[in-house]
Amino acid sequence: MSTIFRALCWGVSVVLIAGGVASAALAGLKPNGSRLAIEAIGITAVPVRHFHKDGQSRARVGKLLWRGGLVLNSAVRNFGGYSGIEVGAEGDNFIAVSDAGTWLSGRLRYDNSRLIGIQNARIGPLLALGRRRLVLRRDRDAEAIRLLEGTIERGLALVAFERNQRIGTFRIMGGKLLEPQSYLRPPLRLPSNKGLEAVTVLKGGRYRGAVVAFAERYLDSNGHHRGWMWQRGRRQAQPIALKVLDGFDVTDVASLPDGSLVMLERRYRWLEGIKFRLRLVRAQGIGPGKVLSGITLVRADMRYEIDNMEGLAIHTDQQGRVILTLISDNNFNSLLQRTVLLQFELPEKFLARAR
């Protein structure tokens, strides 16, 4: 299948399903996560040995180091649509959220530093206040997850929702995402399919502990991506922005230990197919009212083993190396799209400069 033809087929899937103009039949591809009970599931994982589809081994990808990846599949109907991911300390366990209103948790398996599989996987429904079910489709559209405090086994996590725009603070117990305790909301109403797409907590710097969130593609009056910052102890959000480069949209954001940000961005065009980019924003340039820019760490298109990359997590492994983990949203269309899990290492020189 040619790259252009594959891009056209892939584009039909994204535009119809993710773009909000699906027919009744295509809309039915997305399951109703509110009906789900927590259950253990099996996941098959096919290793992605080389990032470039030509099969040649390359240690360096852009400014990053290639660590490997997996293509994930499961026979469970509710598996898929993963738009956000968080990885625990040392990269041992993870939790992801789906835009169908579900969560997935499990343990990442490695052979030395290479991903080889997932074990102890569980899936469950996202809940509303008071442990109520999220009955309406617009209430279930989860796009990002980030640990606020504690661990993935026991703690609090932020979950951002795109259509009914809010950021919930959810309890985690035993690796299960339970009910929310409260919500943050952006100070203005966003278009339903251009809403909250990315959320993180700054791990260092002047604004350590602040919550930062970005809309997918809702621009401000200067043509920048809209974002907000909630400083610790404040309920009122302050504006922050990200420069638009080459028509890419924001799909996730994660903090480095020093408080610098890594932005995950995506671009789709009919004849180009899908692309993604990771952009590093230094900690010293981050603050209320600031317009962020940063440097490109990696940019990839359909010549590489990518898909609709939407989720990003950052952790530090046992050797002290900073690892970036990405996951793709397959739009519940296993015929044309895949759930891909990728890992890269951020070289030490970028961390040294960011301190």
Q: What are the structure tokens assigned to 103, written together?
A: 């969560």
Q: What is the pLDDT of residues 306-354, one digit of tens each?
A: 999 999 999 999 899 999 999 999 999 988 999 999 999 999 988 854 4
DSSP-based helix, strand, coil % in the chain, nearest 5 = 10, 50, 40
User: What is the pLDDT, as a whole number, of residue 11?
Assistant: 52
| 3-class SS of residue 83 | strand
CATH of 3-354 given 1.10.3470, 2.40.128, 2.115.10, 1.20.120:
2.115.10
Radius of gyration of the chain, Cα coordinates, nearest whole angstrom:
19
User: Please, what is the Cα angle at 42 between 36 and 43, to 5 degrees?
Assistant: 105
pLDDT at 150 over 80: yes
d(CA 34, CA 46): 29
User: What is the pLDDT, as a whole number, of residue 270?
Assistant: 87
User: Please, what is the Cα angle at 192 between 243 and 238, to 5 degrees?
Assistant: 45
Q: What is the pLDDT of residues 214-263, one digit of tens each?
A: 999 999 999 999 999 999 878 789 999 999 999 999 999 999 999 999 99
pLDDT at 25 over 80: no
